Amino acid sequence: MIYLDNAATSWPKPPGVAQAMADFLEEAGGNPGRSGHRLSIEAGRIVYDARERIAELFNLSDPLRVIFTLNATHAINLALQGLLVAGDRIVTTAVEHNAVMRPLRSLEARGVEVSVMQCEPDGSLSLDQAGRSIRPGTKLVVATHANNVTGTLLPITAIAEMAHAAGASLLVDAAQTAGVFPIDIQRMGIDLLAFTGHKGLMGPPGTGGLILGERLNPAILQPLMRGGTGSRSEFELQPDDLPDKFEAGTPNSVGIAGLGASVAFVVDRGVEAIRAHEVGLTRALLRGLADLPTVRVYGPTNPMDRTAVVSFVAPGLRVSEVGLRLDEQFDVLCRVGLHCAPATHRTLGTFPEGTVRLAPGVFTEPSDIAHTLASIRAIVEES
């Protein structure tokens, strides 16, 4: 079986992930920060170790600014609903995932002004377009780091400079890049970074987080939920301390233990090495698909301008049929459809059917790509 759906969830996981989760349940199953006994203390140590590893990965000096959430969607909602009120102006792009667009449309109905920057047919964003849209009076700019349909990388550092010049903050959706593309939040000027644990970081589902950059004053961000934190229990008001202000309720400690192990794997392997491996796989996919004249590929032609996400359509074949045949006849697992990104497909002109999406990962081999390309050729030539 060849698994090419890493943009949805990475698989397989590094071997240490399951072991870390089993060890947590067997040896440190206490509630972190809720008690003073040894199991609670050990659980708290494991959670904090994961926080430190994530801070190191993204070049954040204060690990307490790593706020654990259930996924990137949870983190994005925390940022958007915690910052924006009626009358605020927010700028985003036309290639955002529904994790961004759905909460924004909900906020728009409550009086937030949403301005959408149009993107090019390959999913890229022109800096001229960004410069026209990001103007004084904008409170927040929200941009995906890499699109989940085309893999197109957006110029985050330049967008950050424009946002700051206009007096706005920048929220980056790094669901597709965390763990597979170097991210330095200080150098890139990112104020808020939403990440998920189950994709490029190769951790378990149900993990993720929101990183508060050092320019951002946490006092301006309201919690998405309020409740028990294990700290300041004598008060009925949510504490202001980080990360407790934003982490109400018992955390997914066993998942965070697995995430800590997967981040350690990423750091040990090296993000630059992971990126180089995926660029090679992407290049092979792009070249192979280009040899099929009836296949149309979306996104940049240069693999350096994208992540390892390649979408295509084969005219005359429904994307659902291609995906089913790849699975049942050739043991190739991919994703088809709209990929929770209708805005992107409207930009590409592939709405409403969507595309076939191939997303190799760290454990994908060149021979897997060769088999996949041969399988697609067979499907196309038989049609």
Confidence of residue 230 (pLDDT cuts 50, 70, 90): confident
Residues 212 and 305 in one domain: no
Q: What is the mean pLDDT of the chain?
A: 97
- pLDDT tens readout for residues 101-113: 999 999 999 999 9
What integer pLDDT is reported at residue 204 of this predicted model? 98
Active site residue 340: yes
Residues 278 and 133 in one domain: no
Distances (CA, A) of 97 to 8, 265, 371: 12, 27, 30
- pLDDT tens readout for residues 32-69: 988 889 899 999 999 999 999 999 999 999 999 999 99
Domain that includes residue 348, residue range: 2-10+270-382
Task: Return the CATH number at 235.
Answer: 3.40.640.10
What integer pLDDT is reported at residue 131 of this predicted model? 95
Residues 35 and 76 in one domain: yes
Which run of H or of E encompasses 335? strand 335-337
Bridge partners of 298, per DSSP, are 311
Residues 106 and 220 in one domain: yes
Confidence of residue 353 (pLDDT cuts 50, 70, 90): very high
- Please tell me the total count of domains within the chain: 2
Looking at this protein, which amino acid is placed at residue 56?
E
The answer to whether 367 and 375 are in contact (CB under 8 A) is no
Residues 237 and 296 in one domain: no
- Percent of the residues in the chain that have a pLDDT greater than 90, as a whole number: 95
Residues 251 and 180 in one domain: yes
Residues 234 and 140 in one domain: yes
Residues 315 and 187 in one domain: no
Q: What gap in Å lies between CA 380 and CA 383, rounded to an integer?
A: 5
Tokens representing 94 are 């036309």
Length of the chain: 383
Residues 297 and 199 in one domain: no
Residues 207 and 60 in one domain: yes
- pLDDT tens readout for residues 274-312: 999 999 999 999 999 999 999 999 999 999 999 999 999
Tokens representing 4 are 């090419």
Task: Give me the catalytic one of 42, 340, 371, 378.
Answer: 340
Q: What gap in Å lies between CA 183 and CA 178, rounded to an integer?
A: 7
- Positive or negative CA dihedral for 165, 209, 46, 274? negative
Residues 314 and 204 in one domain: no
Q: Which of 218, 244, 269 is the last residue of a domain?
A: 269
Which run of H or of E encompasses 219? none
The whole-number average pLDDT for the span 4-19 is: 97
Residues 245 and 334 in one domain: no
- pLDDT tens readout for residues 163-172: 999 999 999 9
Say yes or no to pLDDT of 377 above 90. Answer: yes
Q: Which of 269, 292, 321 is the last residue of a domain?
A: 269
Q: Which of 269, 293, 317 is the last residue of a domain?
A: 269
Say yes or no to pLDDT of 6 above 90. Answer: yes
Task: Return the CATH number at 324.
Answer: 3.90.1150.10
Tokens representing 71 are 């996924």
What integer pLDDT is reported at residue 36 of this predicted model? 86
* DSSP strand pairing (310-313 vs 169-173): unpaired
Confidence of residue 232 (pLDDT cuts 50, 70, 90): confident
- pLDDT tens readout for residues 164-217: 999 999 999 999 999 999 999 999 999 999 999 999 999 999 999 999 999 999
CB neighbours (10 Å) of residue 234?
5
What integer pLDDT is reported at residue 178 of this predicted model? 98
